[in-house]
């Protein structure tokens, strides 16, 4: 192990759900290189609902994409449940994500040709579960999200908020240890938004699990255990509630 690797290793919090160190991310824009993240150190603790909050363009989506193994950092390292994810092979990383992480993104990415229950069952089927058994479990999750009666409908027959709840069911159905969400309540009214956050807490937060949520939604800020504020690619606040000047 190199000296640099040893230094990096010493600084990881191996007991965290996510431990990110010195994360830099650059994007090429024409002739220019734009630095979007400026050396972020960040731990997401098990048993907590953590929010990542910040203005549009501050780097939130970039940061969570790096933390869950779908966007390589330009510099830095990320451990998820003690595994250095960018040291894995591509195949190992795909398997790691499938078995450990549930995603809820701004675009719901539902498969248009299959119904809501089959969409929600996708992670279980990918893990090898029998289709009918997977569908039953998916229907239970749709019920918890108050859209059990929409199970047989295609995505295009659902409203935006209903499609979002199918995407949420798909993220939670295989009970992943880490749930990563980008604006999960954006398309929902206030009471549905709080219900989703309650469900995320119920399913995604436990002694050995964690959930990190990017949100602008000040209607649900009081439901977080911990709030991180990102400004221009740097963490400027880390505490149990929003800073007073926001
Ligand atoms: N693939 C890309 N190529 C070039 N620039 C990018 C790329 N992805 C993101 N950016 C830039 O990086 C910056 C941060 O983007 P990011 O989506 O992470 O912000 P955000 O805080 O999630 O914003 P929002 O709240 O609007 O979703 C923006 O200036 C964006 O234009």
Closest Cα to atom 31 of ligand 1? 57
For the CA of 29, the nearest atom of ligand 1 = 4
- Dihedral angle sign, alpha carbons of residues 107, 113, 117, 121: negative
Q: What string of pLDDT tens digits covers the 246 residues of the chain?
A: 555 555 555 588 888 999 999 999 999 989 999 999 999 999 999 999 999 999 999 999 999 999 999 999 999 999 999 999 999 999 999 999 989 999 888 778 899 999 999 999 999 999 899 999 999 999 999 998 889 999 999 999 999 889 988 998 999 999 899 999 998 887 778 888 888 888 788 877 878 899 999 998 888 888 899 999 999 999 999 999 988 776
Q: Is the CB of 58 under 6 A from ligand 1?
A: yes
Q: What is this structure's pTM?
A: 0.86
List % helix, strand, coil for the chain (3-state, nearest 5): 40, 25, 35
Q: What is the pLDDT of residue 125?
A: 95
10: in domain = no
Is the minimum distance from the CB of 185 to ligand 1 under 6 angstroms?
Answer: no
Q: Is 60 in the pocket of ligand 1 (CB under 6 A)?
A: yes
d(CA 58, ligand 1 centre) in Å: 7
**Is residue 245 a part of any domain in this protein?**
no
**In which domain, by residue range, is 166 found?**
46-72+87-239
Strands 49-53 and 18-29 turn out to be unpaired
Separation of CA 62 and ligand 1 centre (Å): 6
Which of 58, 62, 66 maximizes ligand 1 atoms within 8 Å of its Cβ, making it the mutation to test the pocket? 62
For ligand 1, atom 5, name the residue with the nearest CA: 27
Total domains in the chain come to 1
Alpha carbon nearest to ligand 1 atom 18, residue: 59
Within a domain: 68? yes
Please indicate whether residue 72, judged by its CB atom, sits closer than 6 Å to ligand 1: no
| Cα–Cα dist 71/51, whole Å | 20
pLDDT of residue 3: 52
Q: Are 97 and 69 in contact (CB under 8 A)?
A: yes
The CATH number of whichever domain residue 101 belongs to comes to: 3.40.50.300
**What does the pLDDT look like over 11-66, one tens digit per residue?**
888 889 999 999 999 999 899 999 999 999 999 999 999 999 999 999 999 999 99
Cβ–ligand 1 contact at 243 (below 6 Å): no
Strand locations in the chain (E): 18-29, 32-44, 49-53, 75-80, 83-84, 101-104, 178-182, 210-214, 226-231, 234-239
């Amino acid at each position: 192990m190199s000296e640099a690797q040893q230094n990096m290793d010493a600084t990881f919090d191996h007991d965290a759900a996510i431990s990110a160190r010195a994360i830099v991310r650059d994007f090429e824009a024409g002739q220019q290189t734009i630095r979007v993240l400026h050396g972020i150190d960040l731990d997401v603790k098990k048993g907590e609902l953590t929010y990542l909050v910040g203005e549009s363009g501050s780097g939130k989506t970039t940061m969570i994409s790096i933390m869950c193994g779908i966007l390589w950092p330009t510099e830095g390292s990320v451990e998820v449940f003690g595994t250095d994810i960018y040291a894995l092979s591509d195949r190992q990383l795909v398997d790691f994500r499938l078995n450990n992480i549930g995603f809820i993104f701004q675009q719901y990415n539902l498969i248009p040709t299959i119904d809501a229950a089959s969409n929600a069952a996708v992670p279980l089927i990918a893990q090898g579960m029998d289709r009918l058994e997977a569908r039953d479990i998916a229907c239970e999750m749709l019920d918890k999200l108050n859209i059990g009666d929409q199970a047989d409908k295609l995505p295009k027959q659902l409203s935006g908020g209903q499609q979002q709840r199918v995407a949420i069911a798909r993220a939670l159905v295989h009970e992943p240890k880490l749930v990563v969400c980008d604006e999960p309540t954006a398309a929902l009214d206030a009471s549905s938004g709080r219900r989703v956050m309650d469900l995320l807490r119920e399913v995604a937060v436990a002694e050995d699990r964690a959930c990190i949520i990017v949100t602008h939604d000040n209607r649900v800020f009081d439901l977080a255990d911990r709030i991180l504020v990102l400004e221009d690619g740097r963490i400027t606040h880390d505490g149990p509630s929003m800073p007073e000047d926001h």
